[in-house]
Amino acid sequence: DKYVDKKGNPPVVIFAGGGVPPPADAALMMQLGMDGVFVGSGIFKSENPEARARAIVRATTHYKDPKVLMEVSTGLGPAMVGISDIKGDPVNFRDREGASYSYSGQVPPKKELHGGTETQMYGSSWERA
């Protein structure tokens, strides 16, 4: 595209999202050239949503300042737990992304789960609708 050739970037806003809960990760996305960072459950499922939201806003605003990044990254508690790699799912995302997934047309039998799933821990948004 001629615009990109002249300006050096596409005429769209580029956001990063999906698994960016620590403030340092949000700052890294900005350092890599994102125009913004979208964080939803990374804030709301944390131990202190208000403090984490404030920290991520400061980290994305001051992403070039290591002192601010260190300050906002301390005392927040653990980040959001990631998506479980549940072996009983018909599609195991780890295998699919690794290109080793093949679908036979039949759903495999459910396997015994070890530990709680995100739905079991936090509830389903479908149940609240």
Evaluate whether residue 79 is within a structural domain. Answer: no
Evaluate whether residue 37 is within a structural domain. Answer: yes
Query: What is the domain range of residue 117?
Result: 93-128
Domain count, the chain: 2
Same domain assignment for residues 6 and 66: yes
Is 83's pLDDT higher than 60?
Answer: no
Q: How confident is the model at residue 69 (pLDDT cuts 50, 70, 90)?
A: very high
Same domain assignment for residues 6 and 68: yes
* CA distance to 14, 21, 40, 118, 127, per residue, from 124 (Å): 30, 20, 15, 9, 5
Q: Which residue has the tokens 């499922």?
A: 45
- pTM exceeds 0.75 for this model: no
Same domain assignment for residues 55 and 99: no
Q: How confident is the model at residue 41 (pLDDT cuts 50, 70, 90)?
A: confident
Same domain assignment for residues 13 and 66: yes
